[in-house]
């Protein structure tokens, strides 16, 4: 069963408008969340993260919102630019009491910015 879900496989947004990518999780032990961006033929690159002690983190055009009660986070990109066209992965991690769990990823959302 998927613990991190990105229910929209793709999203098309007009250049200059806001892009909103959504992510839901089921594991209440997750306490750190990240967004990665992936271009074709490249590995994912870190974009922005948020700890569960916060409900918002902003970095330039990118803002991540976390709603712990709903187990939901979202990534807002404003204004959207053509270079933002990529696949965006939501990932989560939790303090599981020992061992290296790495990150649990969603399937990704392909964001397409239309000129």
List interacting residues with another protein (CB under 8 A).
2, 4, 31-32, 34, 36, 41-46, 49, 51, 89, 91, 93-96, 99-108
Cβ-based neighbours of 62, under 8 Å, separated by 6 or more: 35, 47, 48, 75, 76, 77
Indicate the residue among 33 and 80 with the shorter CB distance to another protein.
33
Our CB check for another protein shows the closer of 55 and 101 to be: 101
CB nearer another protein, residue 10 or residue 67: 10
Minimum gap (Å) between residue 85 Cβ and another protein:
18
Q: How far is the CB of 16 from another protein (least distance, A)?
A: 30
Instruction: Characterise 17 by phi-psi region: left (phi > 0), alpha (psi -120 to 50), beta (else).
Output: beta
Beta-bridge partners for 35: 48, 90
- Measured distance CA(37)–CA(24) in Å, rounded: 17
- If 0-12 CB within 10 Å is exposed, 13-18 middle and 19+ buried, where does residue 99 land? exposed
The least distance separating another protein from the CB of residue 78, rounded to whole angstroms, comes to: 24
Give the residue with the Cβ less far from another protein, 79 or 94: 94
């Amino acid at each position: 069963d998927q613990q991190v879900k990105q229910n929209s496989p793709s999203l098309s947004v007009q250049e200059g408008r806001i892009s909103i990518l959504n992510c839901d999780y089921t594991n209440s032990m997750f306490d750190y969340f990240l967004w990665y961006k992936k271009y074709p033929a490249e590995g994912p690159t870190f974009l922005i993260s948020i700890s569960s002690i916060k409900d918002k983190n902003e970095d330039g055009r990118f803002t991540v919102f976390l709603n712990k009660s709903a187990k939901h986070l979202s990534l807002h990109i404003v204004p959207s630019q053509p270079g933002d066209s990529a696949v965006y992965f939501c990932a989560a991690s939790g303090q599981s009491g020992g061992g290296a769990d790495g990150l649990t990823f969603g399937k990704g959302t392909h964001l397409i910015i239309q000129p």
